[in-house]
Amino acid sequence: MEHLINPQVKEIQISGIRKISNLVSTIPGALTLTIGQPDFPTPRHIIEAGQRALEQNKTVYTPNPGLLELREAASQFVLHKYGQQYRAADEIIVTVGASEAVDITLRTILTPGAEVILPAPIYPGYEPLIRLAGGVPVYVDTRENGLKLTADLLEPHLTDKTRCVILCYPSNPTGQVLSEQELADLARLLEDKDLFVLSDEIYSELVYEDQHRSIATIGKLREKTIVINGLSKSHAMTGWRIGFTFAPAYLTQHMVKVHQYNVTCASSVSQYAALEALTNGIDDALPMREAYVSRRDYVYERLKSMGFELDKPNGAFYLFPSIARFGLSSQEFAMRLLQEEHVAVVPGDAFTAYGEGYMRISYAYSQEVLEQALDRVERFVSKLV
């Protein structure tokens, strides 16, 4: 009966990130630097808010787009933090994590054959959703451009079929952030084009030397941009599964239909916890961000001292060093490192073919783990040169 399965689904591959993460469990004593999950616990006051919701039996359906008070809190949060202005009533949807937010966005705006432009290397979760919605992914190679999608790099790829441009900054896997000038140049290029911008800003609270800026706040871009955000990275709430879409009302009214028939609503208990996060926990990310800066600097300096070539990232919690000088493919490098020194990293080709020749390291781990793992990495690469 397998021949009856949707061919688009059959072609989807399990994420390369998960593949190597799953291997770690089979190797005693292995250290992993693979998963993009904060190693901090969810702040206690947020957990207690979730517990209160359970005790008060707030376990029924909420409105499809989410609790109004939560959408109001989200509206105030992005206004206070980033100057983004969205109405709670008809421009915000509470989703089951940022992943569902991306899914309902693409299913709303794409038609068969529509092209979606993505910077590469890039997180692998977008392409399957584009294809399942009937779209065609078009990758732009950013490797010779500081791992950034800029206007001059984007323009040659725009066609009459372009329906959407995906911006995901701070970036997974590179940690790169677009400057204000780079965003302004992109906005100028796109403002009069008949296309949408999907701006995935899930790492917005983890920008280090600068302040996060969204392309949706520039010129005419608000009316064609869908901003994706959530609490997984900012508030260490990966398992609570709360994301958001911020988009003009004319778009949101259609996106909420897809959301309604997909999941009905996000978990009610998680929504009450999220309300606490966005009000009393508005600055919960700050101590985590300080820790990530320290870890980033440590890992960056260690890798540079080992001879890796890499750009210093300004956001998220990843580094994406080149492994070209070691003469191994990204898969060979990652598998040998795991087998010989019991350290797991993500091979660069997990982030499309344009990631070949790199590896991704997550520094969302304790200082002790980072030190031990990098000692092992140093021992490994010393045998390669």
pLDDT band at 223 (very low <50, low <70, confident <90, very high): very high
Half-sphere exposure of 328 (CA within 13 A, CB side): 18
Percent of the chain with pLDDT over 90: 91
Q: What is d(CA 42, CA 235) in angstroms, rounded to the nearest whole number?
A: 6
Identify the pLDDT of residue 28. 87
Is residue 151 predicted with pLDDT exceeding 80?
Answer: yes
Q: What is d(CA 127, CA 8) in angstroms, rounded to the nearest whole number?
A: 11
31 to 279, 331, 344: CA distances (angstroms):
36, 17, 6
Question: Which residue is it, tokens 């700050």?
Answer: 286
Please return the burial class of 287, using the count of CB atoms within 10 Å of its CB with bins 0-12, 13-18 and 19+: exposed
Percent of the chain with pLDDT over 70: 99
Identify the pLDDT of residue 27. 87
Identify the pLDDT of residue 172. 97
pLDDT band at 16 (very low <50, low <70, confident <90, very high): low
- Model confidence over 270-283: pLDDT tens digits? 999 999 999 999 99
Q: Are strands 196-200 and 225-230 parallel, antiparallel or unpaired?
A: parallel
Identify the pLDDT of residue 17. 73
- Model confidence over 75-123: pLDDT tens digits? 999 999 999 999 999 999 999 999 999 999 999 999 999 999 999 999 9
- Model confidence over 313-361: pLDDT tens digits? 999 999 999 999 999 999 999 999 999 999 999 999 999 999 999 999 9
Q: Cα-flanking dihedrals φ and ψ of residue 362, to 5°? A: -95, 130
Is residue 18 predicted with pLDDT exceeding 70?
Answer: no
The one-letter code for the residue type at 118 is L
- Model confidence over 228-242: pLDDT tens digits? 999 999 999 999 999
- Model confidence over 163-211: pLDDT tens digits? 999 999 999 999 999 999 999 999 999 999 999 999 999 999 999 999 9
Identify the pLDDT of residue 14. 72
pLDDT band at 23 (very low <50, low <70, confident <90, very high): confident
CATH code, residues 44-279:
3.40.640.10
337 to 84, 195, 342: CA distances (angstroms):
44, 43, 6
pLDDT band at 370 (very low <50, low <70, confident <90, very high): very high
CB 192 within 8 A of CB 157: no
Q: What is the mean pLDDT of the chain?
A: 96
For residue 164, the cross-strand partners are 116, 196
Q: Which residues contact 51 (CB under 8 A, 6 or more apart)?
A: none
Q: Are strands 92-95 and 243-246 parallel, antiparallel or unpaired?
A: antiparallel
- Model confidence over 26-48: pLDDT tens digits? 888 899 999 899 999 999 999 99
Q: What is d(CA 100, CA 121) in angstroms, rounded to the nearest whole number?
A: 22
Q: Are strands 115-120 and 136-141 parallel, antiparallel or unpaired?
A: parallel
Q: At the topology level of CATH, where does 2-42+285-382 sit?
A: Aspartate Aminotransferase, domain 1 (3.90.1150)
Query: Structural domain boundaries of the chain?
Result: 2-42+285-382, 44-279
Tokens of 272: 């009450």
